[in-house]
């Protein structure tokens, strides 16, 4: 894992109202904004997975 308080996780593709499944740690970040920016960049290049931000 990471010593950063915020993380980006890759998971199976999710739709509105679904719970993320099969989450895998991708990267750690100091702020939620940094993590969200990273998740958005990853999502733009990979439409087969979803990327979520959460506590590391």
pLDDT digits (tens, 9 = 90+) for 8-48: 999 999 999 999 999 999 999 999 999 999 999 999 999 99
Residue 19 in any domain: the answer is yes
Contact assessment for residue 26 and residue 51, using Cβ atoms and an 8 Å cutoff: yes
Q: Domain count for the chain, please give it.
A: 1
**Helix residue spans in 1-56 (DSSP H):** 32-45
Task: Give the pLDDT of residue 40.
Answer: 97
More confident residue, 2 or 37: 37
Residue 1 in any domain: the answer is no
Buried b (16+ CB within 10 A) or exposed e, 10-29: bbeeeeeeeeeeeeeebbbb
Task: Give the pLDDT of residue 4.
Answer: 80
What is the extent of the structural domain holding 48?
Answer: 6-55
Task: Give the pLDDT of residue 6.
Answer: 96
Separation of alpha carbons 31 and 46, rounded Å: 23
Separation of alpha carbons 33 and 48, rounded Å: 23
């Amino acid at each position: 894992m990471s010593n950063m308080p915020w993380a980006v996780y890759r998971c199976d593709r999710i739709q509105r109202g679904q719970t993320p499944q099969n989450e895998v740690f991708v990267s750690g970040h100091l702020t939620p904004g940094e993590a969200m920016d990273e998740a958005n960049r990853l999502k733009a290049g990979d439409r087969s997975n979803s990327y979520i931000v959460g506590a590391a």
